[in-house]
Amino acid sequence: MRPSTHRRLLACGLASLLTISGPVHAGGPAFKVCADPNNPPFSDDKGQGFENKIAEAFAKALGQKLEYTWFPQRLGFIRNTLKAKIEDSEEYKCDVVMGVPEGYELTATTPAYYRSTYALVYAKGKGLDGIKTPADLDRLPADQKAKLRIAMFDGAPGTTWLLNHGLIGQGIPYQTMTGDVSTNTAQTLDQDFKAGKIDMVIVWGPIAGYLASRNPLALIPMKSEPGLKFDFPISMGVRFPDKERKAQLEGLLKSKAGEIQATLKEYKVPLVDAQGNPLP
């Protein structure tokens, strides 16, 4: 999955809607989040994703209860969550999407609260441990290259990079999105790394961190190059007229910046600055 795909994720597929409340805090209205119930490492209905953790911190800071409206990030996500009203009511089902591309066209967005990049992840202990930069793949012996099994996603920048570096023949096609909402991209790749079906993939940073936390994998951030962008800024989204909530979120992003960065690092999200350079 890629950040350009975040736009697709919020614009393709199907599933049913389910609303569940999170932990209740004293005082104030609810902090109502629109989220995917099975989208690790971002969110899930057990509260285990890093977006869940940030939402919890915000609700606590506001003295509000945390509530979720769950809908898979497929076709109709924004329409069925952020822009949907409760039946026979003027109240919206939820008010905040915790992760959208900066400048996302379907919502008003806060300033970016993190910037990540695609990363190359590969299985350790399989003769690839000498790879320290993506360019090292170019120097592998031809017979070793020919044996590589590289997961690739149609239209993703990683696939373009493989094409540019003569590795497209080693690519194993994967779907960015399937009709099966019980398994997301990260879970599928995790299963296939564990089963030894693939040796490497170039994938969106938070997913790369998820994979590396669950498998003996090396993680190497990709650097954007002319004509091929790998790093993208991520914001929070609200409805366009909701200037008050947007301002509230921007205040929380500032006051909770340290906690947010610590959470992202805990989840091994590769963070970069505006020039795409890795952050410590």
State in words which class domain 117-221 has: alpha beta
Residue 23 clears pLDDT 70, i.e. is over it: no
Structure confidence at residue 177 (pLDDT): 79
Residue 170 clears pLDDT 80, i.e. is over it: yes
State in words which class domain 3-114+232-266 has: alpha beta
For residue 235, the cross-strand partners are: 100
Over residues 179-208, the mean pLDDT reads 95
Q: Structural domain boundaries of the chain? A: 3-114+232-266, 117-221
Lowest mean pLDDT among 107-116, 177-186, 234-243: 177-186
Predicted confidence (pLDDT) per residue in 180-189, tens digit: 888 999 999 9
